[in-house]
A and B are shown apart, each in its own frame.
Chain A
Amino acid sequence: MKFAILSFPGSNCEMDLYYAIKDIIKEDAELVSYKKDSLDGFDAVLVPGGFSYGDYLRSGAIARFSPIIKPLQKFAESGKPVLGICNGFQILTEAGLLPGSLQKNVSAKFICEPEKLVVNNNKTMFSNGYDFEQKITLPIAHGDGNYYADVKTLRELEENNQIVFKYWNNPNGSVANIAGIINKKGNVLGMMPHPERAVEDILGSSDGKGIFYSIVKTIKDRGVIYE
């Protein structure tokens, strides 16, 4: 299967993702410029972390108007997997593909630490390789990772089991300890922690592999997903 890894001006995790997919997961991957207007031929899209457009105005606010976003929205509507990590998560909320927003960490500090997470829903195409309530460790590296949703949205997220990953010790002030959420349809996931930085023991953790393997397994079990 073939992963598209989007690349915006200011992205800085696209190569980590590329090597994670190519060298560890052993699947095909290709960088796709923000200027492109098509995602034809790809089975999954990864929106990488970084500081697209220097985080000017708000994280993700300007990247959200790049030419690649329209095909990304179409891709998401077709039911294929879209995973946004860190700045990728921020871009997906700004683009309206996921509810809520990411605001400044409560501490007002940039936090770069390994964090313990709990798998709160292992029935998604991104998390079915984990056990329910499994504890995994992934690094975080963000200044704006404090997930916010109003009471109504939060209730919906809980009722539909859309909270996929929770922090064990909330580092940034996110409501309901949210580290990662999925859309209602179950094919767009956004998360602040970096699974691509935790794919080999030498990196301190290989717990992130499960996310990519879950996507690959889901796609291969299902065959080509609807278009």
Chain B
Amino acid sequence: MTLVKVYVNYKKSILNPEAQAIHSALNRLGYSNISDVKLGKYFEITVDDDSKDIDSEINEICDKLLANVNMESYRYEIVEGANA
């Protein structure tokens, strides 16, 4: 099993009002040193070992479904031999 961690977040030009609400909540809690918060999505995907080209498959999955590339960007990490 190979574990793939996928991170999806909004592009810089896109507003993230939920993250802004969290940011201001943290400031209200007294964490005045926190200058920015981003809120995105995190996926853990387990892939069978017999998969040939994990990279192209993960890119395809992200482009098709996990991210809307119009507003979001993504990156991923492949964790070899992880006990997923």
Contact = CB atoms under 8 A, between A and B. Distances in A.
Interface of A: 57-58, 61-62, 65, 94, 100-101, 103-108, 146, 148-150, 173
A104 B17 contact: yes
Given A101-B71, A103-B71, A57 B65 contact: yes
B68 A94 contact: yes
Contact of A105 (B14, B17, B70): B17
Contacts of A101: 68, 70-71
Interface of B: 13-18, 20-21, 41, 65-66, 68, 70-71
Contacts, number: 36
Given A57-B66, A108-B20, A173 B15 contact: yes
A107 B17 contact: yes
The prevalent SS among residues of A at the interface is: loop
A106 B14 contact: no
B18 A104 contact: yes
Contact of A103 (B14, B41, B65, B66): B14
Nearest to B70: A101
A108 B68 contact: no
A100 B65 contact: no
B71 A148 contact: yes
A106 B15 contact: yes
